[in-house]
Amino acid sequence: MKKILIILGIVVVAGLLLLLAGIFAVVAMIHKAEGPALYSSVGAWTRIDEFAHTSGKTNYIAFADNQLTLLQQAQTEWQKSAGNKDLSSLQKMQADAYATTDKNIKSGQNPLAYLDETNFAPVPAPVKGKQ
């Protein structure tokens, strides 16, 4: 009976170690994939932010400035956690995203047009006597 419990304990510990190794592998893959996504997003939103400022629309400017700031902060945090990784391929990805977005804007696409269509319902005034 003791041998069975010892073997069962070893199997459980080995299973838990494999599970932990799997979790760490998934987290590492997600962290690795986050860098390219952040760099390409910063490239695209840099051009969108320039477009917003050129348009002069305050809702465009406020939204694009906010998005770009959030992405740049996330990119900085990711760089700190990535360590001494070679960033040249990621910087190329950022430049490519900028160029693609620039081409789309020059062809007449408005990446912030959906902000013009956003319809905020007015808040109804309170009815007297009801609260």
Q: Which of 41, 45, 34 is nearest to 78 (CA)?
A: 34
**Taking Cα atoms as reference points, which of 119, 117, 82, 94 lies closest to residue 36?**
94
pLDDT of residue 123: 54
- pLDDT, tens digit, 9 for 90 and up, residues 25-46: 777 676 666 788 899 999 999 9
Q: How far apart are CA 57 and CA 45, in angstroms?
A: 16
The band of 125, judged by pLDDT with boundaries at 50, 70 and 90, is low
Vertex 116, ends 58 and 53: CA angle to 5°? 30
C-alpha–C-alpha distance, residues 82 and 77, integer Å:
9
d(CA 27, CA 98): 28
Domain ranges in the chain are 32-109
Residue 4's pLDDT is 86
42 phi, psi to nearest 5 deg: -65, -40
39-91: per-residue pLDDT in tens? 999 999 999 999 999 999 999 999 999 999 999 999 999 888 877 777 888 89
Residues 98, 104: Cα–Cα separation, whole Å: 10
